[in-house]
Amino acid sequence: MDYTISSVAPIVLLPFFAFVINAFLARKGGKATIAAVFLSCAAIAGSSVYAFRIFKDFVWGNYATNYHIHKFFTWFDLNGGGQEFTVNMGIYIDNMAAVMLLMVTVVATMIHIFSTYYMKDDMHYGRNGRFFVYMSLFTSAMLGLVLSDNLFSVFIFWELMGFCSYSLIGFYYEKEKTGNANVKAFMTTRVGDVFFLLGIVAIWTAIGSVGFVDIYNAVDSGLFTSTKVLGMPLATFAGLCIFMGTIGKSAQFPLNVWLPDAMNGPTPCSALIHAATMVAAGVYLSLRIYPLLEVGELTTFVAYIGGITAFGAATIALVQTDFKAVLAFSTISQLGYMVLGVGVGSYNAAFMHLITHAIFKACLFLSAGSVIHSLHDHHTHQHVQEMPRMGGLRHKMKYTWIAMWCCTLAIAGIPFFSGFVSKDRILGDALVAATHNPVMAVPAALGFLGALLTAFYMCRMMFLAFHGEPRDKEVYDHTHEEKLSWNRNAPLLFLSIFTLGVWFSGSLTGQGLVKVADYKNGKYEWFQTLIEAPKKGNFENYKREAFGNTDSRVKDSFEMTKYDKQHGLSEAEYHHVHKWHVIGAIASIIIAFSGVFIAAMMYLWKKWDPGFWVKTFNRYYRTLQNKYYMDELYIKGMIQGMLLPFNNLLAKLDMGIYDRFVVDGSAVATKFVMKIANWFDNLFVDTIMVDGTGASVKFFNLVLRTFQSGKIQFYFIMIILVLFGYILAL
């Protein structure tokens, strides 16, 4: 069978309808809110059924591995009056989207289930309903983004996710702090987003479309290198602009400052939005535009951004004491690894890390939620999330502890766990890239150093929270024993199953558990076979097709793809790559274990004193605690120091000077001219000429009045005199 838009749409529409209905239902409180919560969960569970069907078709082989579905319809057009312009929307599903869809729906379902536990006794009636309203909208937008066939609709869903993120960070709106955090999150990502929009506009203008298929074809036909924008090739300009979107959304350096503050939202929303899906969407986008990054020669830049972020965030995570803050910085760091993967050309591993990270990080956040929610300070009536007040919790929370350790081992890169498989491959490819291009040695080195720190700070967190003696006895004693429950730890345990590496690679030798290709030789992993960078060959046979057309290209029977053993590489190159991958794998195993070891020495066995390091490197410690002063630089330096004074100056100029003196001044000037005119009028025209006329008339009046005496005799004399005068004159 093949998919049409209407058969795929329910994935997006189910959560969307849940959002629309809940928007009216959720605030009512009581039964209505319970119904709303149930509706949200049911909708996302329904989506995951659809997503699983698509996943099954793509991975277990109704389609050839390079197959994709592309259907579209016209959203609106501007055809008329001799002009033409059409905007299309559509779906584009390839293997990557299929895997992504399954991951998003399953993780979101688990988080929804957990949320029913976490948000159960939130302070106001109907408030937890409001939480689910945004969660449904968010999930719908995220799924829409994954299904999008063009950058424009990616942007639309991208911004909608930003809105949901804004609303959920500001969920506890009575706190002043959340107001700062959500504005910061929205504005920082918006910096990237406006560039993203600019990139879309540039591509649309140059090639007449922003559909992925059209973009890949245009890359092949050389349009992206021949067109120049502001002196650089279009690929560079557009690639950079769109990658700015990734930097903002995936919290990469230098726009990484918003993600730690985003932890002000409820923990399940952090798990879904700020760990598993939305922030990963940035990486997903950069994978979608991967050809642009390559053609535009931006890979080095991307790798540096990724490397710096991966290492920098890991260093900050070393000194955090807040449970969620450690996870927030580790998210930034792990996203940095994905971006590093994109930069070093490790397309497949970057995407795999996206998936594995989404699973273990969602699980970590949910575990953190499970911990924080049950720790209560009875004096302040707040939940406790400071690690110095935890300790020994493994006795109270067995299931959370197990789930969290699975995830910690995964993120630390311990063999047989998913994080090892994906991260090791990124680091191996970084090493290979460094052998080709010495400049890449820096991001590769940063990646390895970051891996050491990751193993250390994650284990530090685990030891501080779950092991040793309880440091705050009161909090510990008030904590209830954790029982197995469907909405508290079942989601955690379910997710932790997928932290095992076998799901993604099988084993170190690359034996796939789920084989889609060449199972006679059994050498290839499903992930590596399915996910590959967009290539021309994938698109030349597939023309765009409009909504409703029947598709004749469905593969009736399973068709094996002819991938050669060496993934298209030459013999020598294959050996070279293989060699460096082995070196990388050994190095990262050693690094991961030493990270765990150091953490254990410091925090579990207490052989080494962490205080010594704090005292010795106090200045660096403070720098790290202040997150390299980036917040200060942006907020105090740029916004409060430059932007606001500039605004105030401009506003004063506008109203105080321009309006007052120039505009009103022209009125005053007019008044002045009027006064002069008035004066001139009074003196010359009025006094001398008009009044003068009057005066002269008066004067003659006076003279004449004497004549008008009313005496007949006088008139008679006058008449005679006049007549006499005439006679004389004649």
* Positions that interact with another protein (CB under 8 A): 27, 75-85, 152, 155-157, 159-160, 163, 166-167, 170, 173-176, 178-180, 182-183, 186-187, 190-191, 194-195, 197-198, 201-202, 204-205, 229-230, 643-644, 646-648, 650-652, 654-655, 658-659, 662-663, 667
**C-beta neighbour count of 131 within 10 angstroms:** 26
Tell me the sheet residues that pair with 322. 386
Asked if 373 contacts 479 with a C-beta cutoff of 8 angstroms, the reply is no
3-state secondary structure 239-264: HHHHHHHHHHHCCCCCCCCHHHHHHH
CB of 283 to another protein, least distance (A): 21
CB of 190 to another protein, least distance (A): 5
Give the integer Cα–Cα distance in Å for 1 and 614.
62
3-state secondary structure 282-350: HHHHHHHCHHHHHHCCCHHHHHHHHHHHHHHHHHHHHCCCEHHHHHHHHHHHHHHHHHHHHHCCCHHHH
**C-beta neighbour count of 640 within 10 angstroms:** 12
Tokens of 293: 């990054």
CB of 107 to another protein, least distance (A): 24
The smaller minimum CB distance to another protein, of residues 152 and 524, is found at 152
CB of 263 to another protein, least distance (A): 17
**C-beta neighbour count of 680 within 10 angstroms:** 11
Which helix (H) or strand (E) element contains residue 408? helix 398-412
CB of 171 to another protein, least distance (A): 11
- Is the backbone peptide bond immediately before 254 cis, with ω within 30 degrees of 0? yes
Q: Is 186 helix (H, G, I), strand (E, B) or coil?
A: helix
CB of 199 to another protein, least distance (A): 10
Tokens of 436: 């080709």
Asked if 266 contacts 193 with a C-beta cutoff of 8 angstroms, the reply is no
The smaller minimum CB distance to another protein, of residues 198 and 293, is found at 198
CB of 202 to another protein, least distance (A): 7
Q: Measure Cα distances from 118 to 155, 365, 488 in Å.
A: 31, 12, 8
Tokens of 375: 């720790």
Tokens 């050389």 -> residue: 222
The smaller minimum CB distance to another protein, of residues 237 and 448, is found at 237
Residue 385, φ and ψ in degrees, nearest 5: -130, 15
Q: Is 427 helix (H, G, I), strand (E, B) or coil?
A: helix
The smaller minimum CB distance to another protein, of residues 616 and 647, is found at 647
CB of 242 to another protein, least distance (A): 13
The CA-to-CA distance between both ends of the chain, in Å, stands at 131
C-alpha Rg value of the chain to the nearest Å: 37
Q: Which amino acid, residue 471? A: R
The smaller minimum CB distance to another protein, of residues 73 and 716, is found at 73
CB of 674 to another protein, least distance (A): 13
The smaller minimum CB distance to another protein, of residues 661 and 679, is found at 661
- CA 529, 533, 536, 541 torsion: positive or negative? positive
The smaller minimum CB distance to another protein, of residues 85 and 715, is found at 85
Q: Which amino acid, residue 184? A: K
The smaller minimum CB distance to another protein, of residues 178 and 422, is found at 178
Give the integer Cα–Cα distance in Å for 199 and 197.
5
The smaller minimum CB distance to another protein, of residues 174 and 477, is found at 174
Give the integer Cα–Cα distance in Å for 505 and 527.
7
Tokens 């925090």 -> residue: 603
334: Cα within 13 Å, side-chain hemisphere: 37
Q: Is 488 helix (H, G, I), strand (E, B) or coil?
A: coil
Contacts of 554 by beta carbon, 8 Å cutoff, 6+ apart: 1, 2, 62, 63
CB of 27 to another protein, least distance (A): 7
Give the integer Cα–Cα distance in Å for 290 and 284.
10
Which residue, 212, 274, 213, is CA-closest to 242?
212
Give the integer Cα–Cα distance in Å for 156 and 469.
50
The smaller minimum CB distance to another protein, of residues 81 and 710, is found at 81
CB of 287 to another protein, least distance (A): 22
The smaller minimum CB distance to another protein, of residues 201 and 514, is found at 201
CB of 648 to another protein, least distance (A): 5
CB of 22 to another protein, least distance (A): 13
Tokens 């917040």 -> residue: 631
CB of 160 to another protein, least distance (A): 6
Asked if 346 contacts 429 with a C-beta cutoff of 8 angstroms, the reply is yes
Contacts of 724 by beta carbon, 8 Å cutoff, 6+ apart: none
Asked if 25 contacts 43 with a C-beta cutoff of 8 angstroms, the reply is no
Q: Is 80 helix (H, G, I), strand (E, B) or coil?
A: strand
The smaller minimum CB distance to another protein, of residues 81 and 537, is found at 81
The smaller minimum CB distance to another protein, of residues 64 and 201, is found at 201
CB of 80 to another protein, least distance (A): 4
CB of 230 to another protein, least distance (A): 6
Tokens of 166: 């804004």
The smaller minimum CB distance to another protein, of residues 643 and 676, is found at 643
Q: Which amino acid, residue 658? A: Y
The smaller minimum CB distance to another protein, of residues 34 and 156, is found at 156
Tokens 């020994």 -> residue: 392
CB of 192 to another protein, least distance (A): 10
The smaller minimum CB distance to another protein, of residues 157 and 524, is found at 157
The smaller minimum CB distance to another protein, of residues 586 and 668, is found at 668
